[in-house]
């Protein structure tokens, strides 16, 4: 499949709700972890390329980066450090992601960001990402709550109800974040969420 043909399947319009993200081709199916009920994510669940000791190193880096974090839009963010960069470019993670995307899709790593949600107004409104994050891998590093769990990561099929992605700490969701509208809802009092997002841009591929 050519790059142009591939992009032809995606909608870059202003209205994120107006076009099916995979119109004209078979939608990717959930290939591991839990079934989302709708085929909008490529993977949801544990990722062998992100074992516990790697996640411990990423949590430690997140704690460091929090000191440099800034309020961006509706929550707190900081760019990934050298640990995140190394993990993002590891053969293990890239190989895993290659196994998740449809045949013919070629991509390269771009940037990563740590995100924190803990204030009552923290959230991410439904949106789609830019080209540098057209393929996204979101790792849930931490999710603690004193009472009810309120903050949820959701995908938003065009014209349909939001679908919660059931992530536990240590799980990751892989999806075309430039094509599939996604969001995170507000935490309850005492609830805290820390995620790490890895971004990948699509590259031209052969005919
Ligand atoms: Fe996003």
Distances (CA, A) of 129 to 68, 109, 114, 183: 23, 14, 15, 11
In a domain, 6, yes or no: no
Phi, psi of 33 (to 5 degrees): 70, -145
Q: Whole-angstrom Cα distance, residue 183 to residue 120?
A: 16
pLDDT one-digit tens code per residue, 137-165: 999 999 999 988 899 999 887 777 888 89
Residue 17 binned pLDDT confidence (cut-offs 50, 70, 90):
very low
Distance (Å) from CA 197 to ligand 1 centroid: 9
Inside any domain, residue 177: yes
> How far away, in angstroms, is 199 Cα from ligand 1 center?
9
166, part of any domain: no
The predicted-structure confidence for 25-84, as pLDDT tens digits, reads as follows: 334 444 444 434 444 788 999 999 999 999 999 999 999 999 999 998 899 999 999 999
CA distance 165 to 34: 9
Domain annotation covers residue 142 = yes
Quick one: pLDDT band at residue 23, thresholds 50, 70, 90?
very low
The pLDDT of residue 192: 97
Q: Which domain holds residue 119?
A: 36-161+171-201
Q: Is residue 103 part of a domain?
A: yes
Determine the distance separating the centroid of ligand 1 and the alpha carbon of 200, expressed in angstroms: 12
Q: Number of structural domains, the chain?
A: 1
Q: 84: which residues sit within 8 A by CB, 6+ positions away?
A: 58, 61, 112, 114, 196, 198
Expressed in angstroms and rounded, the spacing between residue 127 Cα and the centre of ligand 1 is 6
Please state, for a pLDDT cut of 70, what percent of the chain lies above it.
79
* CATH code of the domain covering residue 182: 2.60.120.620
Distance 177 CA to ligand 1 centre (A): 6
List CB contacts of 30: < 8 A, sequence separation 6 or more.
36, 39, 41, 42, 43, 44
What is the chain's alpha carbon radius of gyration, rounded to the nearest angstrom?
16
pLDDT in the model for residue 138: 98
Does residue 149 form part of some domain?
yes
Task: Give the pLDDT confidence of 162-198 residue by residue, as tens digits.
Answer: 888 989 999 999 998 988 889 999 999 999 999 999 9
Single pTM value for the model:
0.82
Neighbours of 93 (CB within 10 A): 23
Whether 13 maps to a domain, the answer reads no
Higher-confidence residue: 23 or 87? 87
Decide if 21 is inside a domain.
no
């Amino acid at each position: 499949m050519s790059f142009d043909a591939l992009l032809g399947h995606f909608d870059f319009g202003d209205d994120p709700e107006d076009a099916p993200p995979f119109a004209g081709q078979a939608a990717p199916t959930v290939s591991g972890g839990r079934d989302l009920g709708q085929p909008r994510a490529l993977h949801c669940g544990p990722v062998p390329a992100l074992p516990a000791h790697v996640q411990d190193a990423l949590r430690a880096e997140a704690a460091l980066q929090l000191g440099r974090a800034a309020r961006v839009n509706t929550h707190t963010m900081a760019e990934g450090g050298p640990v995140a960069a190394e993990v993002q470019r590891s053969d293990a993670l890239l190989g895993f992601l290659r196994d998740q995307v449809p045949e013919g899709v070629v991509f390269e790593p771009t940037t990563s960001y740590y995100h924190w949600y803990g204030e009552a107004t923290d959230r991410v409104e439904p949106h789609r990402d830019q080209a540098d994050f057209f393929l996204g891998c979101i790792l849930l590093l931490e999710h603690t709550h004193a009472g009810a769990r309120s903050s949820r990561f959701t995908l938003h099929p065009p014209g349909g109800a939001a679908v919660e992605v059931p992530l536990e700490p240590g799980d990751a969701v892989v999806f075309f974040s430039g094509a599939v509208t996604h969001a995170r809802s507000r935490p309850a009092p005492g609830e805290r969420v820390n995620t790490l997002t890895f971004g990948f841009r699509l590259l031209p591929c052969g005919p």
